[in-house]
Amino acid sequence: MPDNDQMRSYPGARPPDRTGHIMSSGLRLALNEWGAPDAPIIAMVHGGFDFSRTFDVFAPMIAEAGWRVVAWDARGHGDSDHAQLYSWGADVRDHMAAITTLSDEPIVLLGHSKGGGQLLDLLDARPGLARAFINLDGMPSQFSAPDINDRERRRMRRADVAAALDRRRRRNELTRRPDTIEGLAGRRAPMNPRLTREWLEYLVTVGARHDAEGWRWKIDPLLHLGGFGPWRPQWSMDHLAALDLPFLGVLSGVQDDPMGWKSRRGDIEPFLPPGGQLEFYDDIGHFLHIEKPRFIADLVLEFLGRLP
């Protein structure tokens, strides 16, 4: 364990009230909970390269309003097992394993970014799992880079594939690079340029592991941003259109946030399920619930308050 002087606090951040795990086809997924155990459940699914402790400020706000907030780490992330294989579909299946372990009844689901996109897939296949769905900037509309010609775009993707193969060849040698708390926070900052250094340093102390050489992120070093394989934003939009339950979508309009999905209101509105609510904020970045936790929590609680 690190010394106390190596830990960090952050205003409003609260460790989970309970920790545990669920099993998904033999893989152990770490589980964190805030709020009364007998309160109605809202499950929160984090985004790519995040982990459930990134809800340390937002989740307590929801819990204090009378909800049992449950969040788990995706395979290879946080304290969950590293897997031999990773895929979008496997994550979706892990979410289903977690949700069905938590409850036999429909629960409220909230997903951020990739987590929101994966819940769109899951709920199209298994609508009975949820009584309502909140999607925080996890609604893709386009990934095009119109300033890159086709030939160059192919080369970029080819380089991505070659890099992924190289990484798998070296898989048994890969480790996360050790650093100080400040150093690790600084390396994450380009992914989260709108979040404070104080928050990022706090994240290190709950999302990294300390050993003799320093701090290392827990995420499987095999994982990388982006992934590859055929994928079209329209496929996710079809899932959104197929939803038939209370829905709140929240979009970040900040176009230069590197992790953002950059969808505009007009991209998403045609696919909203009947009665669905869509909010768009051009002054909040992709990590809406971290950048403006009180504001987003109030928005979510207002939506939850209208549920039958």
Partner 1 sequence: MTRRTEFLANGTMRLALHTLADSSGASDDSTHPLLLLHGLGEQSPASRPAWTDAWPGAVLALDFTGHGESDVPLGGGYMPETLMADVDAVIAEHGPVTIVGRGLGAWIALLISGARTASVRGVVLADGSGLFGGGPHPPSPYVTVLGPGDGRTPDPYALIELSRDVRPPDYALDYLRFALEESELETPVVVAARIRPDWLVAIAADVSVAEAPLVEAIGSFINPQLASR
Binding site for partner 1 (CB under 8 A): 23-27, 75, 81, 83-87, 89-90, 92-94, 96-97, 100, 121-122, 124-126, 154, 157-158, 161-162, 164-165, 168-169, 171-172, 222, 228-230, 232, 235, 238-239, 242
Closer to partner 1 by CB, 163 or 307: give it.
163
Tell me the closest approach of the beta carbon of residue 89 to partner 1, in angstroms: 6
Position of tokens 């790519």?
48
Looking at beta carbons only, is 99 or 254 nearer to partner 1?
99
d(CA 284, CA 292): 7
Closest separation in Å from C-beta 215 to partner 1: 24
Minimum distance from residue 100 beta carbon to partner 1 (Å): 7
Q: Which is nearer to partner 1, 43 or 61 (CB)?
A: 43
Min dist CB 161 to partner 1, Å, is: 5
User: By C-beta, is 36 or 161 nearer to partner 1?
Assistant: 161
Residue among 84 and 144 whose Cβ is closer to partner 1? 84
Cβ atoms of residues 131 and 195 within 8 Å:
no
Q: Provide the sign of the torsion angle of the four alpha carbons 190, 192, 197, 199, taken in this order.
A: negative
Minimum Å distance from CB 248 to partner 1?
Answer: 21
